[in-house]
């Protein structure tokens, strides 16, 4: 309609549409056209509105200043409701997109349990993956396992020489052991020598120590995945650093050396090293640095962490000929198998992405930026533009900070957080139910409380987790949103009529709620584009607030007019659909009652 009346393209016209502050829908098209035609935007908006004829979808169209306001008709509101009810769990989803997105998370070192900082990474990665899939992208959930790091070498040395009798959940036990070994590593030179020798054997591969290291890492990850499954988080593939070094490393190094992306230093402290010369451009972005250049490959031919990461991303984007082999790692509770890289395994078609997202802490901003720059210098401009660092700030409890080496995570693991949530929720459950059902409700609500608390805040802001906020039933919490959904189910369960969209005149609260429900598709698209689940949390909160206002002011079960009663039941049903779809994007399950 707008395009036809103004000569603008359909895309240009749609880009100016937004929820109206006066009308139901508003357009800023007059602003855009005024610049091109050098006319007053308010006058232009008035002229455009006169050319537009109200149709069955709009009661009226009028200009107010530079904005063109559209007032939806009752028929349009009915159409929105019918669309939601018809699409059900697909409502708000996007069309299928081309290509594949690899999202890497949480990549926790395989020698400790997840603490609440790791949990933020995992929940963020899981939610972004859900949003992207719902928006129409093919998504590959990848976990990078650093089984050749110093921390794993310390744990392996401790396992082989100090304590090899696991007790309890393996990742938790290994984490406690690591704290003791890390302390010995700082105090005892013989331990340092033993760990260095262990790491050397691990890096060489093909020996008993290397095999023991891989086995230890896999057992730890299996323990971590028990935690992951409790939070409903699943993966497609695990890539082990040891397989990177033995499968694609040499090819990647050769490609880097053959290009002018890096230079071989002939003198100075970096003599013999292959270095990315970064200079003034990076100093403008990151501030004055003692040496902004970045070594990728040491003089002995080994790669620093960022060098390995560059090679790994060449593989992610399908720029290397060598391929990983795979075998099953674990069958997950969702019925899907997570695969792991192994020498000589089957070709499963992982990798070769068109876009990649790395969920990594904000402290890794510099090395992640280096990877992008190296890809550009290798003439992979498209890939560089499609590599995104989804950084996140730290998370903690009041007055608490966490360190894997110092063991300050003890008492604050993701497992302990969920156990505490379930205990606190169980104390609040008032519904008359069998113990098994109460336990199930406590898990769903407890996990929902944690997830919402972690995802409601923009990833670039620090989180201080507080139980009084997480379990607040008055609003802005997971349990509040879950209760809003349960409320819709309760109303529908008590109804004598079936929901039906009838020809009625919609009131103020009904219109406000239906307009909110109609926004889900736009919210999903924005969240996918910005890789930002917190837009979903706010949207779900807004739905719940609007539904509360609707229910308070618009009697549903006792409405005298049958058509009004059935239509309000349809509004209730549509609210439950949109709210459940939004919560699913956050990984939050909805109980049937609470």
- 116 close to 417: Cβ distance less than 8 angstroms: yes
User: Is 307 inside a domain boundary?
Assistant: no
Q: Do the strands 274-276 and 263-264 form a parallel or antiparallel pair, or are they unpaired?
A: antiparallel
Cα Rg of the chain (Å, integer):
28
Write down the pLDDT at residue 467.
93
Gap between the Cα atoms of 373 and 380, Å rounded: 10
Take residue 287 and report the two structure tokens written for it.
């501030």
* DSSP per-residue codes, 213-267: HHHHHHHHHHHHHHHHHHTT---SEEEEHHHHHHHTHHHHHHHHHHSTTSEE--S
Give the pLDDT score at 380: 96
Q: Is residue 237 part of a domain?
A: no
Cα–Cα dist 562/275, whole Å: 76
Domain annotation covers residue 34: yes
Q: What is the CATH number of the domain that holds 44?
A: 3.30.1360.70
Which of 30, 47, 72 terminates a domain? The answer is 72
Q: What are the pLDDT digits (tens) for 283-311? A: 677 766 666 788 998 888 778 889 999 99
* H runs (alpha helix) in 108-240: 116-134, 150-161, 170-187, 189-204, 208-230
Instruction: For residue 193, count CB atoms less than 10 angstroms from its CB and return exposed for 0-12, middle for 13-18, buried for 19 or more.
Output: exposed
pLDDT score at 185: 87
Contact (CB, 8 A) for 181 and 191: yes
d(CA 255, CA 67): 55
Distance of alpha carbon 93 from alpha carbon 528, whole angstroms: 11
State the SS3 of 402-448: CCCCCCCCCCCEHHHHHHHHHHHHHHHCCCCCCHHHHHHHHHHHHHH
DSSP 505: -
Structural contact between residues 352 and 318, judged by C-beta atoms closer than 8 angstroms? yes
Supply the pLDDT for residue 121.
98
3-class secondary structure, 27: strand
Mean pLDDT for each consecutive 10-residue tract of the chain (594 residues)?
Answer: 65 80 88 82 87 81 90 95 98 97 98 95 98 98 96 95 91 94 87 93 95 98 98 98 95 87 87 85 68 83 88 97 97 98 96 98 93 93 98 81 56 92 92 91 97 97 93 93 97 96 96 97 97 98 97 96 98 98 98 90
Give the pair of three-digit tokens for residue 441: 């409700």
| Contacts of residue 149, Cβ cutoff 8 Å, sequence gap at least 6 | 109, 241
CA angle 387–389–394, rounded 5-degree value: 170
Quote the pLDDT of residue 246: 95
CA dist 125 → 22, 369, 535 (Å): 37, 19, 15
Residues in the chain: 594
Answer yes or no: are the C-beta atoms of 475 and 541 closer than 8 Å.
yes
**What are phi and psi for residue 464, nearest 5 degrees?**
-115, 110
Taking CA atoms, 160 is separated from 133, 193, 314, 320, 500, in Å, by 43, 14, 35, 36, 68
Nearest to 526 by CA among 131, 164, 124: 131
Upstream peptide bond of 106 is cis (omega within 30 degrees of 0): yes
Q: Shortest CA distance to 380 belongs to which of 388, 370, 372?
A: 372
CB contact set of 535 (below 8 Å; sequence gap of 6+):
523, 526, 527
Q: Strand 263-264 vs strand 355-361: parallel, antiparallel, or unpaired?
A: unpaired
| Residue partners of 126: CB distance under 8 A and separation at least 6 | 105, 141, 231, 232, 233, 587
DSSP helix/strand/coil, 81: helix
Residue located via tokens 């018809």: 86
Q: What are phi and psi of 205, to 5 degrees?
A: 75, 170
Residue 169 in contact with residue 229, Cβ under 8 Å?
Answer: no
pLDDT at 497: 96
In a domain, 48, yes or no: yes
**Phi and psi angles of residue 330, each rounded to the nearest 5 degrees, phi first:** -160, 140
CATH number at residue 476: 1.10.730.10
Provide the number of structural domains found in the chain.
2
pTM of the predicted model as reported, rounded to 2 decimal places: 0.92
- Its domain, for residue 493, covers 414-585
Residue 516: Cβ within 10 Å count:
21
Task: Tell me 319's DSSP state.
Answer: -
451 in a domain, yes or no? yes
Q: Which of 40, 55, 72 is the last residue of a domain?
A: 72
pLDDT digits (tens, 9 = 90+) for 381-433: 999 999 999 999 988 777 655 555 555 666 789 999 999 999 999 998 888 88
The domain boundary residue, chosen from 72, 88, 117: 72
For residue 471, being part of any structural domain is answered with: yes
Residue 17 phi, psi (nearest 5): -80, 135
The answer to whether residue 511 sits within a structural domain is yes
Which residue from 593, 589, 594 is spatially nearest to 230, judged by alpha carbons? 589
Examine residue 59 and state whether it is found in any structural domain, yes or no: yes
């Amino acid at each position: 309609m707008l395009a036809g009346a103004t000569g603008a393209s359909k895309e240009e016209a749609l880009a100016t549409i937004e929820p109206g502050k006066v009308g139901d829908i508003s357009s800023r098209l007059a602003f855009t056209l005024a610049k091109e035609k050098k006319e007053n935007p308010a006058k232009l908006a008035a002229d455009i509105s006169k050319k537009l004829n109200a149709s069955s979808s709009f009661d009226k169209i009028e200009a107010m200043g530079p904005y063109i306001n559209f007032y939806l008709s009752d028929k349009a509101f009915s159409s929105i409701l019918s669309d939601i009810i018809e699409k059900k769990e697909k409502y708000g989803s996007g069309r299928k997109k081309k290509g594949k997105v690899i999202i890497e998370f949480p990549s926790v070192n395989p020698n400790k349990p997840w603490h609440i900082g790791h949990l933020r990474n995992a929940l963020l990665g899981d939610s972004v993956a859900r949003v992207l899939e719902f928006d129409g992208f093919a998504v590959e959930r990848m976990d990078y396992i650093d089984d050749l790091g110093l921390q794993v070498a310390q744990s392996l040395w401790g396992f082989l020489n100090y304590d090899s009798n696991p007790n309890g959940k393996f990742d938790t036990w290994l984490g406690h052991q690591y704290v003791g070994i890390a302390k010995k590593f700082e105090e005892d030179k013989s331990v340092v020598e033993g760990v260095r020798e262990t790491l050397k054997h691990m890096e060489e591969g093909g020996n008993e120590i290397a095999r023991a290291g891989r086995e230890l890492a896999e057992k730890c990850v299996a323990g971590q995945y028990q935690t992951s499954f409790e939070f409903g988080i699943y993966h497609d593939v695990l890539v082990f650093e040891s397989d990177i070094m033995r499968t694609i490393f040499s090819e990647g190094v050769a490609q880097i050396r053959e290009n002018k992306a890096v230079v071989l230093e002939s003198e100075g402290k970096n003599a013999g090293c292959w270095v990315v010369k970064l200079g003034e451009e990076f100093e403008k972005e990151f501030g004055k640095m003692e040496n902004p250049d970045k070594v990728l490959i040491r003089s002995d031919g080994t790669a620093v962490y960022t060098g390995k990461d560059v090679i790994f991303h060449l593989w992610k984007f399908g720029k290397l000929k060598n391929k990983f082999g795979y075998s099953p790692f674990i069958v997950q509770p969702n019925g899907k198998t997570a695969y792991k890289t192994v020498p000589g395994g089957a070709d499963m078609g992982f990798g070769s992405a068109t876009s990649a997202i790395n969920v990594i802490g904000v402290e890794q901003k510099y090395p992640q930026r280096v990877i992008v720059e190296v890809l550009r210098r290798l003439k992979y401009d498209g890939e560089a533009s499609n590599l995104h660092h989804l950084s996140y700030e730290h998370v903690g409890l009041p007055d608490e900070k966490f360190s894997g080496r110092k063991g300050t995570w003890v008492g604050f693991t993701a497992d302990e957080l969920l156990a505490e949530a379930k205990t606190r929720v169980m104390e609040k459950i008032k519904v008359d139910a069998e113990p098994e059902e109460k336990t199930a409700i406590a898990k769903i609500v407890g996990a929902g409380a944690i997830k919402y608390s972690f995802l409601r805040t923009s990833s670039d802001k620090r989180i201080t987790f507080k139980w009084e906020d997480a379990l607040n039933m008055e609003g802005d919490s997971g349990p509040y949103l879950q209760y809003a959904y349960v409320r819709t189910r309760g109303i529908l369960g008590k109804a004598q009529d079936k929901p039906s969209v009838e020809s009625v005149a919609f009131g103020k609260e009904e219109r406000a709620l239906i307009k909110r429900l109609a926004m889900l598709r736009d919210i999903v698209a924005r969240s996918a584009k910005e890789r930002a689940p917190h837009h979903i949390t706010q949207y779900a909160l807004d739905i719940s607030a609007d539904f509360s206002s609707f229910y308070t002011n618009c009697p549903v079960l006792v409405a005298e007019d049958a058509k009004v009663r059935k239509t309000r039941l349809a509004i209730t049903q549509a609210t439950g659909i949109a709210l459940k779809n939004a919560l699913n994007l956050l990984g939050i399950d909805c109980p049937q009652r609470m």
